[in-house]
Structure 1
């Protein structure tokens, strides 16, 4: 298993594909190649950013990036935490509509689940932009734009690391069926694994992200009892599952398991991967702070009556070696996206 572990790291480095914001190897810093033109700053807008759950490191990081961009745009921004509750998200949406907001950001929950509220907002001429709010990036009938990487690319990169990183893999996939983007990732990971003779999906485990802290210990114990050493690898649609897996694995003596996450590159995940003390060896990360700025740019375009930017970031395969070569450990700190957007908004 140790040789398999080493092989996984090498494979992760070899499979860091060219990135849409610059041709980068594992030892290079990604550079910005996003939009270079667009409407000037539409100042003085009132925005409500509704996060699916701020315990989710991805949603939290995007909200921080959005707040930073909003300060430059001189916007009045309120962050609402849905806490993983459909009722709380619905309430926040209705209150944003009643308050006469100029824009609403859907921060990590499915737009389709709140169709009635979104249609009501659109009727009131409120602009809607999402982050991870549909299975694919771009515009739809419910959103001016949905900011995300392609989840199928994320899923394939994660599954590839597992299948090509060992001679034989028994894989458990942790997912949350409440989210369409999670379902899309899961199905694509399963398809990729099914196409490889040395790789086998043992089980797809549906665990609510908002309850992962409480549900993972029991899930790990049940899986180990059922599959034992046949369970060699874990894939997950979000890093948060691996926030809560180390102690349960330690308790059952499973230090051999290898974990890879198909999103999103949370600060907590990056820290444990860089330390080398965790059984999570890789994450397929997104430049989350930069995506927060892109959400602001898409809203700014909507306010100005322009079209969406059409820009989509490419996900990054992040391993310990990659992080060791980023001095500050911040994936998007060297991308110069702040300078790029400021030149668009204030030419």
Structure 2
């Protein structure tokens, strides 16, 4: 009975999440705000990217760029290249530019308390994407735009657990993390917990947690994979990662070592490369728990617009999307948030007639 209970809870959870997304696309495309202040034109906004190698950061910037064009704002892009000292310098430069708003793309500004204090004194509006542990307003940010990291992590871990049970495979998981980010640590801890708590399926275990900086992953992953295969051999059957980028350089070393059955699942963010891999239906990356990145770019603009107008945050939190080969076949393209109706919804708010 225990084994059946474990399977039903986790496997049904995955099916329900997928069904909810398909239902949202087909029946009720937009669940976000429908009212708000009109466009506050003539603003200058700086987007500080943690690292543009991160597909999530790059794609949410593109969404913000499109939204800023519709709002009549000037948008400046700065790239921190994954270096904390450079991010601090860019933050200082953004304040000196007398920006109306600053967007923190994929890093936590609380590492820079002095700059935060100066920005607030200068009445600069601060928002972030994956810039705090949780979505919503924070003491430092008008809004942090993100899906719920715990929900993302649970969906990823449940997916590999359900696959292992369904195919009667041992679940030996290696998790790839970048522990300089609180949100990444939250995801990693939850994925580890889900795997280790499945006592009803005796073959569940986390083999290791590998800390690899996202900015260094393309260099380190090809060297690390053969070492892990040598250490764990056939016990390593699945990998979870806090971001798709870890799998960008993992395919070749796995194929070269003959480890073709190892399944990869990312707990974020749905990069263009990851979606292309999954859409092929031949990749070892079977799924990603994606953010609706373009929509979140629009949400960043909308939240800034509310801040500029003196209005409160919208309170909207987007849902993560379980992306598999089957889902991409169903929707017929890689624009997983294209059908959500956000562009017309935000246009109606910003350009009331």
TM bin (shorter chain): over 0.9
CA distance, structure 2, for counterparts of residue 194 and residue 14 of structure 1: 18
The answer to whether structure 1 residue 293 and structure 2 residue 295 are counterparts is no
Q: Aligned to 1:157, which of 149, 155, 158?
A: 155
2:3 match: none
Q: Aligned to 1:78, which of 76, 79, 82?
A: 76
Q: Is the 8 A contact 1:56 1:240 kept in 2?
A: yes
Q: Deviation per CA, 1:135-180, whole angstroms, max 9, x where unpaired?
A: 1001111100000000000000000011121132000000000111
2:191 match: 189
Q: Is the 8 A contact 1:272 1:280 kept in 2?
A: yes
CA distance, structure 2, for counterparts of residue 321 and residue 172 of structure 1: 25
Alignment CA distance shift 1:317-1:340 (3 Å): same
Q: Report matched runs for 1:62-141 at 5 Å.
A: 62-141=60-139
CA distance, structure 1, for counterparts of residue 111 and residue 347 of structure 2: 34
CA distance, structure 2, for counterparts of residue 14 and residue 95 of structure 1: 44
1:328 to partner: Cα distance: 2.4
Gapped runs of 5+ residues in structure 1?
1-6
1:42 to partner: Cα distance: 0.5
1:142 match: 140
Q: Aligned to 2:40, which of 39, 42, 46?
A: 42
CA distance, structure 2, for counterparts of residue 239 and residue 29 of structure 1: 29
Q: Report matched runs for 1:235-254 at 5 Å.
A: 235-254=240-259
DSSP 3-state at the match of 1:15: helix
Gapped runs of 5+ residues in structure 2?
1-6
- List, as ranges, runs of 4+ consecutive aligned residues in structure 1 with deviation greater than 2 Å: 10-16, 22-30
Q: Deviation per CA, 1:105-163, whole angstroms, max 9, x where unpaired?
A: 00011122222212211111000000000110011111000000000000000000111
Cα root mean square deviation, aligned: 2.0
1:270 match: 275
DSSP 3-state at the match of 1:334: helix
CA distance, structure 1, for counterparts of residue 124 and residue 25 of structure 2: 43
CA distance, structure 2, for counterparts of residue 121 and residue 165 of structure 1: 48
Q: Deviation per CA, 1:51-86, whole angstroms, max 9, x where unpaired?
A: 111111100000000010000110011011111111
Q: TM-score, normalised by structure 2?
A: 0.92
Q: TM-score, normalised by structure 1?
A: 0.93
Q: Is the 8 A contact 2:21 2:321 kept in 1?
A: no
What is the total number of aligned residue pairs between the two structures? 337
1:343 match: 348
DSSP 3-state at the match of 1:152: helix
1:12 to partner: Cα distance: 9.1
2:174 match: 172
